[in-house]
Structure 1
């Protein structure tokens, strides 16, 4: 395993632990969208890829596809990081809907503020 892959997987693990801690109780989960109680906010985006968006296990074009999201789907975003360039955009978003998958920011329009850095 390359150092970059190991670092990416470590980042995913840290993000998963942070999200579990932020959603430990219903009251904390309700506050996470507003950033109250020092919980990281959950950002939203809309898929713009006409044929659907491939979601991967790392922020690289060659990583394993976990699943897809359909065109116009609204997705929860935990954070962003740099990765492989896709059509002139090297940002990738970590989606937080249970599978912890990476999607290219090239094909996700932000709804509201841009996600924080991972």
Structure 2
């Protein structure tokens, strides 16, 4: 795992542990325009229920959930816990800035960039 990925994971975990919101900075993005941000990627949930987590592994805190067919915005991807042969996790900016296992999200368009 790259130093940058470890930093994103550490900062995300620390902010959530302190009860704060996690909002990675994106140049030119004030956080209110995520819906139309060209730096975001798209996907659709394939699991019946997909748990959203505070870090890219199943042992982290559950902070939300999504359901099959829901479309999601994806900020970036990182390496995390291996889920059925796929160790990629996506950082989702909608609402809580949560992590979701990429195994359960089908990309719409190009694959997300690395965090």
TM over 0.5: yes
Is there any run of 5+ residues in structure 1 with no aligned partner, and where?
Answer: 1-5, 34-40
Instruction: Give the alignment's Cα RMSD to 1 decimal.
Output: 2.6
Equivalent residue number for residue 16 of structure 1: 23
Q: TM-score, normalised by structure 1?
A: 0.75
Alignment of 1:75-94 (within 5 A): 75-94=72-91
Q: TM-score, normalised by structure 2?
A: 0.76
Is there any run of 5+ residues in structure 2 with no aligned partner, and where?
Answer: 1-5, 16-21
Q: Report the CA distance shift for 1:55/1:25 in structure 2 as closer, same or farther (over 3 A).
A: closer
Q: Which protein is bigger by CA-based radius of gyration? A: 1
More helix by share: 1
Deviations along 1:41-88, one digit per CA (max 9) or x if unpaired, are 110100000x21001000011101001001110001000000000010
Structure 1: which 4+ aligned runs deviate by more than 4 Å? 28-31
Equivalent residue number for residue 60 of structure 1: 57
- Alignment: residue pair count: 102
SS of residue matched to 2:25: helix
